[in-house]
Amino acid sequence: MNLAESGEKRAPAAGNVPGRKPLFVVLEGPDASGKTTQLKLLSQELTQRGIPHITTREPGSTQVGEALRRVLLDPKQQIRPLTELLLMVADRHEHVEGVIRPALAAGKWVLCSRYTMSSLAYQGHGRGLDLALIRELNRLATGGLEPDYVFLLDLPPQEAYRRTQMRDRFEGEGLTFFTQVRAGYLELIRNLPRGYLIDATAPPHEICREILARLPLSG
Ligand code: TMP
């Protein structure tokens, strides 16, 4: 998915709750949990309400980020866990500085697929890298920019595994990896204020309604 801008032609911040800053909303979850579908549905809802916003994702979404994504997902690459982490946070720094902060500064909401929690779940719980190190690198990469809301689209590992098509380096990991990532996600979301667990086996429109119900929307 390329960086998609939408809602731009509307009156500035028409649907925003007056006096409230634009929100930074992150969707997390395993591969094939429906994050891209939800970004599209949420974007339609915000557009209908006249809320200026962008949809974006990690890794990718900047020029250097797209190059990093190709390497990171290429099943032919052999990448050490620490290298993988460093490339993810390099991508994140470009994304935060080049896309997310400018959008928020322009008054646009940011709807983002994956952010810092992905590195904690995949490189931390999945690959076994030190969580404190990942937090520190995340802080460095983001300058401390935290999402306002994180929605974890949760799937049982067997279901996540069944849905993947083994197309990329992460999807090619086994069920054990998926199980570790899921356990990590559940722990992380439990400890996050404004973190919400969403059942990703529900129909897409129901999931979208559940997310919308948590967001401070006018009208
Ligand atoms: P996507 O398919 O959801 O766009 O994500 C690509 C893969 O990158 C996905 O399998 C998860 C992985 N990933 C990490 O391992 N760590 C990270 O920090 C991010 C952002 C993604």
DSSP one-letter string for 50-102:
T--EEEEESS-SSHHHHHHHHHHH-TT----HHHHHHHHHHHHHHHIIIIIHH
Nearest ligand 1 atom to alpha carbon 92: 20
* This prediction's pTM: 0.91
Pocket flag, ligand 1, residue 28 (CB < 6 Å): no
- Domains of the chain, by residue range, sit at 22-214
Judged against a pLDDT cut of 70, whether residue 174 lies above it is answered with: yes
Q: In whole angstroms, how far apart are CA 8 and each of 24, 54, 100, 108, 181? A: 17, 9, 15, 9, 36
Superfamily of domain 22-214: P-loop containing nucleotide triphosphate hydrolases (3.40.50.300)
Residues 150/21, Cβ–Cβ less than 8 Å: no
Specify the residue with its C-alpha closest to ligand 1, atom 18: 119
Average pLDDT over residues 60-66: 97
Residue with the bigger pLDDT between 151 and 217: it is 151
Which of the residue ranges 45-59, 80-94, 171-185, 194-208 would you say has the lowest mean pLDDT?
A: 171-185
State the distance from the centre of ligand 1 to the C-alpha of 19, rounded, in angstroms: 34
By C-alpha distance, which of 36, 24, 40 is closest to 106?
A: 24
| Burial (CB count <10 Å: 0-12, 13-18, 19+), residue 101 | middle
Pocket flag, ligand 1, residue 119 (CB < 6 Å): yes
Pocket flag, ligand 1, residue 118 (CB < 6 Å): yes
Paired sense of beta strands 109-113 and 195-199, if any: unpaired
Nearest ligand 1 atom to alpha carbon 72: 8
| Nearby residues of 63 by Cβ (< 8 Å), 6 or more positions away | none
Pocket flag, ligand 1, residue 56 (CB < 6 Å): no
Nearest ligand 1 atom to alpha carbon 60: 4
Identify which of 73, 170, 181, 188 to mutate to test ligand 1's pocket (most ligand atoms within 8 A of the CB): 170
54 phi, psi to nearest 5 deg: -125, 155
Average pLDDT, the chain: 91
What pLDDT score does 26 carry?
Answer: 98
